[in-house]
């Protein structure tokens, strides 16, 4: 036990120190029905339980530990700033039994979860990203006050939750995502930062009060967004990429998974043109934003047109659109539909996956750039597809490996990772018969192809 000479008790709380020179004073804190540390004199008079903050913590931690909402915590402790920061060495109210129900507001929201600051760069895909990080995260359990319109009678429905304070005449809203900034959002909607802050006063002059997962006002009644160039007569959709040129006359809404390369190819552009017209995406395309419009044409630009024949003079008409870099001697085409893969297309058309990717090199060997509703080459001049009926009256699927028995009546499509043993066990056949009917797989099974058919029963 400490001697009377080594304990220092302050009237404002419990601070003790061991004998002088032995250690620095440390806060002693406890939770209970009365504060043990200094507290806000304006704290709710209904407070029935207190938390004493003796070390660094956050509103998030206090709220979660005591099963209360952010609105309750800030209402009971009115000294808290808008960004909800607690101070070490103070007590805060976390319970108020018997408190009258608070009145609702038409412009403010309450939250059932806490606020935590975030410096995460939020991504919508492996290739397209959202804006630079600084917003404060408001969890997905956020709820709003009962109001459903910005001002009663203006007929504009207000989504919830909103930022802490927005103007009453808002007519367009943006759901802030983790990492977005006032600057980024203003750029998306072609408004100034001053306008954004005036319409969302609670974000503050430095934007530190911006909440993620809550709606911000991005337009008010009577506001007209800036066109690409005043007077050029071309309406610019919103939101756009961070920066686009002023003379854009065609726009493309970037979706998750898009890359600068794929967009340029689809729109008949070079990547250099796309990057020049959308400078904020950066030379490596890392700044490409999903769910925002990119410029894909400027005034006076004529996009390149796909060729109408595979090769000048070969007389074979090529349908459009086709995937880039298709071979020039193609004589048969297939339009990709939803659910297709290189393996399923190759099997249906009597070609191998290797042939398909050789004739359509843009799709890549792993088929990762196969485009929906675009045409592929499935045959070239001089190619003879694998027959689907070798003469025994049983339709043979494709592709198959060479040497398969001509008396096969049942086929199995080999999936990646399957072995001879798994297939023979599945069909209850011997490995000797399996190899005899499919000699190309070899006795040790090293020659078996994935994504091709094998024979598992004969006539």
For 229-266, how does the pLDDT look when each residue is reduced to its tens digit (9 = 90+)?
A: 455 677 888 888 888 888 888 899 988 878 888 888 78
Whole-number percent of the chain with pLDDT over 70: 75
157 DSSP 8-state letter: B
| Maximum Cα interatomic distance, the chain, rounded to a whole number of Å | 107
Report how far residue 301's alpha carbon sits from residue 200's, in angstroms, rounded to the nearest whole number.
39
pLDDT of residue 431: 93
* Burial (CB count <10 Å: 0-12, 13-18, 19+), residue 283: exposed
pLDDT of residue 227: 53
Q: Which run of H or of E encompasses 420?
A: helix 420-427
Please confirm whether the linkage preceding 238 is cis (ω < 30° from 0).
Answer: no
pLDDT of residue 212: 84
What angle is formed at CA 275 by the lines to CA 269 and CA 276, rounded to 5 degrees?
95
Q: What does the pLDDT average to over 123-134?
A: 39
Of the two residues 206 and 128, the one the predictor is more confident about is: 206
The Cβ of residue 250 has, within 10 Å, a number of other Cβ atoms equal to 16
Instruction: Collect all residues with Cβ–Cβ distance below 8 Å to 420 and sequence separation of at least 6.
Output: 431, 434, 435, 441, 445, 448
Q: What does the pLDDT average to over 400-417?
A: 85
- Residues 269-290 have pLDDT tens digits of 888 889 989 988 888 888 888 8
What angle is formed at CA 50 by the lines to CA 45 and CA 55, rounded to 5 degrees?
140
Q: Are strands 215-220 and 136-138 parallel, antiparallel or unpaired?
A: unpaired
What Cα–Cα distance (Å) separates residue 268 from each residue in 265, 287, 303, 440? 5, 21, 5, 44
The whole-angstrom distance between residue 158's C-alpha and the CA centroid of its chain comes to 24
Q: Is the pLDDT of residue 383 over 70?
A: yes
Q: Which pairs from 195-201 meet CB under 8 Å and 24+ separation?
A: 195/223, 198/167, 199/166, 199/167, 199/170, 200/163, 200/165, 200/166, 200/167, 201/165, 201/166, 201/167
- Residues 332-368 have pLDDT tens digits of 899 888 888 888 888 778 788 888 999 999 888 888 8
SS3 category, 252? strand
Q: What does the pLDDT average to over 136-162?
A: 55
Q: Are strands 136-138 and 211-212 parallel, antiparallel or unpaired?
A: parallel
Sign of CA dihedral 267, 270, 273, 275: positive
Global model pTM greater than 0.85: no
Q: Which run of H or of E encompasses 76?
A: helix 70-76
- Residues 14-54 have pLDDT tens digits of 333 333 344 444 444 567 888 888 888 888 888 988 999 98
The Cβ of residue 319 has, within 10 Å, a number of other Cβ atoms equal to 12
Task: Lowest mean pLDDT of 76-90, 145-159, 165-179, 251-265, name the range.
Answer: 145-159
pLDDT of residue 166: 92
pLDDT of residue 226: 60
Q: Is the pLDDT of residue 100 over 60?
A: yes
pLDDT of residue 232: 63
What angle is formed at CA 208 by the lines to CA 206 and CA 163, rounded to 5 degrees?
115
pLDDT of residue 133: 37
Length of the chain: 459
Report how far residue 441's alpha carbon sits from residue 428's, in angstroms, rounded to the nearest whole number.
18
pLDDT averaged over the chain? 76
Q: Is the pLDDT of residue 157 over 50?
A: yes
């Amino acid at each position: 036990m400490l001697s009377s000479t080594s304990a220092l008790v302050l009237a404002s709380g419990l601070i003790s120190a061991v004998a002088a020179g032995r250690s620095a004073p440390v806060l002693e804190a406890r939770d209970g029905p009365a504060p043990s540390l200094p507290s806000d004199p304006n704290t709710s008079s209904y407070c029935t339980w207190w938390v004493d903050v003796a070390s660094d913590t956050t509103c998030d931690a206090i709220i979660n530990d005591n099963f209360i909402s952010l609105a309750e915590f800030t209402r009971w402790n009115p000294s808290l700033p808008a960004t909800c920061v607690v101070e070490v060495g103070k007590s805060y109210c976390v319970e108020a039994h018997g408190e009258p129900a608070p009145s609702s507001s038409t412009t403010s929201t309450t939250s059932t979860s806490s606020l935590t600051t975030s410096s995460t760069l939020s991504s919508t895909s492996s290739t397209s990203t959202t804006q630079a990080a600084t917003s404060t995260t408001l969890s997905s359990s956020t709820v709003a006050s009962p109001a459903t319109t910005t001002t009663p009678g203006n007929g504009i429905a207000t989504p919830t939750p909103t930022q802490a304070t927005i103007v009453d005449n808002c007519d367009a809203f943006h759901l802030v995502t983790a990492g977005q900034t006032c600057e980024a959002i203003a750029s998306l909607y072609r408004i100034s930062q001053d306008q954004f802050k005036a319409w969302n006063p609670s974000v503050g002059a430095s934007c530190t009060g911006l909440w993620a997962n809550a709606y911000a006002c991005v337009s008010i009644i009577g506001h007209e967004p800036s066109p690409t160039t005043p007077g050029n007569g071309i309406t610019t959709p919103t939101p756009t990429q961070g920066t686009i040129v002023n003379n854009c006359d065609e726009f493309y809404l970037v979706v998750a998974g898009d890359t600068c390369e794929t967009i340029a190819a689809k729109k008949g552009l070079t990547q250099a043109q796309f990057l020049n017209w959308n400078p904020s995406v950066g030379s490596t395309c890392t700044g490409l934003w999903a769910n925002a419009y990119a410029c894909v044409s400027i005034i006076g630009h004529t996009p390149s047109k796909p060729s109408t024949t595979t090769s000048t003079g070969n007389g074979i008409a090529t349908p459009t659109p086709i995937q880039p870099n298709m071979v020039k001697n193609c004589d048969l085409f297939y339009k990709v539909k939803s659910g297709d893969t290189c393996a399923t297309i190759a099997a249906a058309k009597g070609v191998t996956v290797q042939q398909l990717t050789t004739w359509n090199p843009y799709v890549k060997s792993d088929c990762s750039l196969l485009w929906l509703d675009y045409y592929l080459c499935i045959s070239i001049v001089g190619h003879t597809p694998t027959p689907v009926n070798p003469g025994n009256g049983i339709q043979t699927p494709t592709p198959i490996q060479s040497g398969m028995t001509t008396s096969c009546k049942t086929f199995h499509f080999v999936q990646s990772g399957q072995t001879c043993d798994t297939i023979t066990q599945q069909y209850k056949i011997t490995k000797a018969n399996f190899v005899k009917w499919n000699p190309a797989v070899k006795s040790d099974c090293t020659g078996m192809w994935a994504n091709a058919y094998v024979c598992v029963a004969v006539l």
